[in-house]
Chain A
Amino acid sequence: MPTPPLLEARDLALAYREGSRVRPVLRDVALRIDAGECVALLGRSGCGKSTLLNLLGAIDRPDAGSVTVDGVALGSLTERERTLFRRRHLGFVYQAFNLIPTLTAVENVALPLELNGVTAGEARRQASDLLDTIGIGARADAFPDELSGGEQQRVAVARALVHRPRLVLADEPTGNLDAETGPQVLDLLRGLAAGSGGAQLIVTHSLAVARTADRILTLEDGLVREAGDRLAW
């Protein structure tokens, strides 16, 4: 019996209204990601990659189609249920890091654990261990504005994975990092995700980043396709 996919999207469509004009962004998008898999979604700037990520991450709702994550149809959830779903089952990494500026590195990492009901002391211990594991334990008590870009993204990765989510969604995770730090962060993301058994979807416009994934999808003209050998970027 085939294993059910961890994430499955069918016939997704979304259009933006711009005054009287309607601009379609996604059309009949279908994709699936299996547990443990790392998939890259490749596309030019403004092609709708982040929009698709928002739909898959229970952040936005499509005009049509369905998204199922770990057997849960996101369309059937209320706003509050979607919020709690994100809290428990998803992890996010963004190009702009999006750390909470008034929390230290270790507190940022502990936050998802606390939100999921882990006691403050235990959450801090686990977060601290994870920061040690990724080599920035010494910076645990620094605030985000005291960290370098690479360090901030490491903290963001740790925060996305600390509660062992089923799916990690990363939007241009190396976009703000230099040529040396970018691959290190990607390695970290892949390594930690592999340990947790979850899947990853990395949205990027960089072919180099995409090539680190198990599988590459492309988004062009609102449609998602398997890239195969047709990559021409």
Chain B
Amino acid sequence: MSSLLATAGLRFLRRHPWQTWLTVLGVALGVGVVIAVDLANDSARRAFALSMESLTGRTTHQVVGPPDGFDESVYRALRVDEGIRPSAPVVEGLVRVRGATYHLLGVDPFAERPFRDGTGDLPQGDFRRLLVEPGAVLLGEPSARQLGVAPGDTLAIEAAAGHRRVTVVGLLGGAQAAAFEGILVADIATAQELLNRIGRLDRIDLIADAATVAALTTRLPAGLRVEPAEQRQAALAQMTEAFHVNLQAMGLLALLVGALLVYNTMTFAVLRRRPVLGTLRLLGVTRGELFGRVLVESLLLGLVGSLLGLALGVAVGSGLVRLVTRTINDLYFVLTVTTFQVSPALLAKGLLLGLGSTALAAAGPALEAAGIEPQAARRRSTLERRHHRRVPWLAGAGALLFVIGGALALAPGRSLPLAFTALFLLILGFSLAVPLLVLGLSRVLLPLAARLFGNVGRLALRAIDAGLSRTGVAVAALCVAVAATVGVGIMVESFRDTVARWLGQTLRADLYVSAAGTVSSRTDGVLPAGVPDRLRTLPGIRGLSQGRSVQADSPAGPVVLLALRLGPDSHRGFDLKGRIADDLWAGFGAGELVLASEPYAWRHRVGTGDSVTLHTAEGPRPFRIGAVFRDYGTDRGMLVIDGGVYARLWRDPGISTVGVFLDDATKLEQTLATVRDHLADLGQPVLVRANRTIREQSLAIFDRTFAITGVLRLLAIGVAFIGVLSALLALQLERARDHAVLRALGVTPAQMVGLGVLETGSMGLFAGLLALPLGWILAELLIHVVNLRSFGWSMDSLLPPGVLADAVLLAVGAAVLAGAYPAVRMARVQPAAALRDE
């Protein structure tokens, strides 16, 4: 391509710095959001992988048993009697250090060497101290830095055994330092003491071949089994996958809005330069050369935008990773992420996405440029007439995409990517129809605007109609962003409402006593024995329910098992769905039937009447599903079994939670105080909480989970805001002569501002109104397809008027705000100068 052609193009961009930088910013924001989300997801995944590596190391298999572990004599038998040397006992649990949750990994330093890098390579001195000093622990270097401790310092920790002090005798550093983030390593005896698990082991790690494993399987005591190590890791990793995919989709939505912005700007650039491009065609520049020139210019903006986006993404990502980690900690498992690595592959992906979306968005305007006839300076009105003729065709294509998207959304299946494809087709289809809808709205509302605002109203709406080639795209960009807000808003509100109602139904007891877990959202600790008996002696107690929440094992991986001894009203706390087995509660009490939560049924593709196998202390045992119930406590899925049956089959008499039913609910506060006093001398901290407190805490976790969604929504709105500002500046530049004529005819600067605000306000109103149906459709898809396929949750949809009103206000507000500067510029136009320039 001629260097002069390139020079001319670059100078055009430089002469319109606002336009150019807004486009760059649009791409930057779009790419930035995607990169930020990816970085946060990647960091969380990498931290998870490292944490798994540090916990399992080179282990090939693990001997595992019931949820509360097994006797440590099994290890001795394995090593001495069976002669399996590469074996290492592990006891693990959670402890709190200065408000943060850490993994406590109890290991046998003598057996460690073949298993875990880091722990196996300890200096002899640290090694000995770990064994001989009571309360000695090793800490990963990053965690030590974060806590500001050095070898020799003591740390106050909160563990199952209560508040204790431990001494940091060494740091786990070197190449594996990152793998030990959030992990405390102690000698097995120390860990057993801290975790209140004297004489118990959680697992025995093995490095063994298939023959050894096969032989061992037949000789293990009842209730123990050998599992491949990666099976557990895979099951854990899979848990958060839908969560990561959902975040990625939000990031891509921001990029889509950014692409609309590029399309808008480049279309403007082509239309504005139409006479110049016509002259170039006259001078012998071919269609291909013009196409290439516009594309290269766009890609240049895309490149600058993408590079800025990468920087922005890295900056935002470091903040976002905290939100992602918090959600994972709230909902899935404890994860510490302090290492934030930006991989070249991720940067390349961001660059490709930015350039790719720019190229796609610019292809239309580039084709437009290539199609320019050499008859040069056509009048703008001719162009708009051509564009107006194209509008129904665009809407037709949009309708087709919309129908395909709808069909994909309604098609039965489980594919999440397909659900998101449907979502994007619906958005794209709708946005293609937006110009036609804007045309219709501006014409329908013209008489009203004329009556309310006279000629200014008429001029404002006709300006939207006359500049449809750009006003249409600007409204579409804003509409998509606001619709995303509406859709996600309705989904979150519906979800929150469903969860609130579910909590009301599920939490039947008036107050709950539970073991003080090391993670607030979990109640998998064990209450001291005798708590129920003590509670029964108190006056005003109508009854008790008892629950034990454990992670049980099944051939399909770990599963949350809730063992319930039902209280007076407890069975009414289940919102049962679909078919219910005959004599459900009798079968439940007899241990024949279990209840499966909705996510469990979805993930494992089972329903009422199907059989599930669980590893009990007596070996694998099948249970029949008696009913499926709604549960929003965990998307991993949960099975509920009778408490008595569980205690017998798993040989675990422990209780995690006691629900207390009062004779008189109005005496709640009084009873809370009495219960706290009554349980104060147990020697182990317990939580006594009112039903209402748990509900509030659960909803607080819910709100925290969706905080990240709010951040992404704001970013998408930011991109759309820039889109509208960019389009309005473009229109204002282009109409400088019209505005000068109006000023010359005697329109005052104040009236010019009014005209500008009315025009942009109308565009915002159109975007807001059009966003409502699109947003509602998106919400239905998110609620009934995406959420179901991601987490297995079904929920009832709401149409909260607040969300809808907010959306329209947001759209009008964003548009008016974006239009403020162009409106002031319109008012300041000097008629003489503008007319002379033309």
| A contact set with B: CB distance below 8 Å | 54, 57, 59-60, 79-80, 83-88, 90, 92, 94, 96, 98-103, 107, 110-112, 114-115, 120, 123, 145, 159
Contacts and interface: CB of A to CB of B under 8 A. Distances in A.
B279 A100 contact: yes
A110 B286 CA distance: 17
Give the 5 A-B CB pairs with smallest separation, nearest first: A87-B284, A102-B11, A98-B279, A114-B2, A102-B8
B284 A79 contact: no
Nearest to B281: A83
B565 interface: no
Contact of B376 (A86, A94, A111): A94
B124 interface: no
B15 interface: yes
Contacts of B687: none
Given A83-B287, A98-B377, A102-B11, A111 B4 contact: yes
A182 B375 CA distance: 24
Contacts of A87: 283-285
A120 B283 contact: no
Contacts of A96: 377
A112 B376 contact: no
Contact of B7 (A85, A94, A101, A103): A103
Interface string B375-402: 1110000000000000000000000000
Contacts of A159: 283
Contacts of B12: 102
Interface string B285-307: 11110000000000000000000
B282 interface: yes
A86 B286 contact: no
A57 B287 CA distance: 17
Binding site of B, secondary structure by majority: helix, strand, loop or mixed? helix
Nearest to B285: A115
A229 to B, nearest CB: 35
A139 B286 CA distance: 30
19 contacts: A54-B375, A59-B375, A60-B375, A80-B288, A83-B374, A86-B282, A87-B283, A88-B284, A100-B8, A100-B279, A102-B7, A102-B11, A102-B15, A102-B276, A103-B4, A103-B8, A107-B8, A111-B4, A120-B3
A94 B377 CA distance: 11
A159 B284 CA distance: 13
B275 interface: yes
Contacts of B837: 145
B280 interface: yes
Given A83-B281, A86-B283, A87-B284, A110 B377 contact: no
A158 to B, nearest CB: 13
Given A102-B8, A111-B2, A114-B2, A92 B283 contact: yes
Contacts of A100: 8, 276, 279-280
Contacts of B376: 94, 98
A98 B278 CA distance: 9
B287 A114 contact: no
Given A102-B7, A102-B12, A115-B283, 5 more contacts: A59-B282, A92-B283, A102-B9, A110-B4, A115-B285
Contacts of B373: 59
A107 B837 CA distance: 22
Contact of A59 (B4, B285, B374, B377): B374
A199 B373 CA distance: 25
Contacts of A123: 4
B286 A84 contact: yes
A94 to B, nearest CB: 7
Contacts of A107: 4, 7-8
Contacts of A54: 375
Contact of B374 (A80, A86, A112, A114): A86
A94 B7 CA distance: 23
B388 to A, nearest CB: 16
Interface in B1-57: 2-5, 7-9, 11-12, 15
Nearest to A96: B377
B3 A86 contact: no
A101 B287 CA distance: 20
A79 B287 contact: yes
Contacts of B279: 98-100
A106 to B, nearest CB: 10
Nearest to B374: A59
**Chain A CB within 10 A, most for which of B280, B284, B285, B377:** B284
A207 B591 CA distance: 111
B11 A103 contact: yes
A114 B3 contact: yes
A86 B11 CA distance: 26
A154 to B, nearest CB: 17
**Chain A CB within 10 A, most for which of B2, B4, B837:** B4
A108 to B, nearest CB: 9
Contacts of B275: 98
Nearest to A112: B283
A80 B5 CA distance: 18
**Chain B CB within 10 A, most for which of A59, A120, A123:** A59
Contacts of A101: 276
**Chain A CB within 10 A, most for which of B282, B375, B376:** B282
B474 to A, nearest CB: 25
A86 B15 contact: no
Contacts of A103: 4, 7-8, 11
B778 to A, nearest CB: 42
A111 B5 CA distance: 8
B282 A98 contact: yes
Contacts of A115: 2, 283-285
A194 B288 CA distance: 34
A83 B276 CA distance: 16
Contacts of B3: 114, 120
Contacts of B9: 102
B284 A84 contact: yes
Contacts of B276: 100-102
A28 B9 CA distance: 42
Nearest to A88: B284
Contacts of A86: 282-284, 374
Contacts of B8: 100, 102-103, 107
B281 to A, nearest CB: 7
A112 B375 contact: no
Nearest to B276: A100
A144 to B, nearest CB: 10
Given A59-B374, A100-B8, A120-B3, A92 B282 contact: yes
Contacts of A85: 284
A86 to B, nearest CB: 5
Contacts of B286: 80, 83-84
A4 to B, nearest CB: 24
Interface in B325-383: 373-377
A84 B284 CA distance: 6
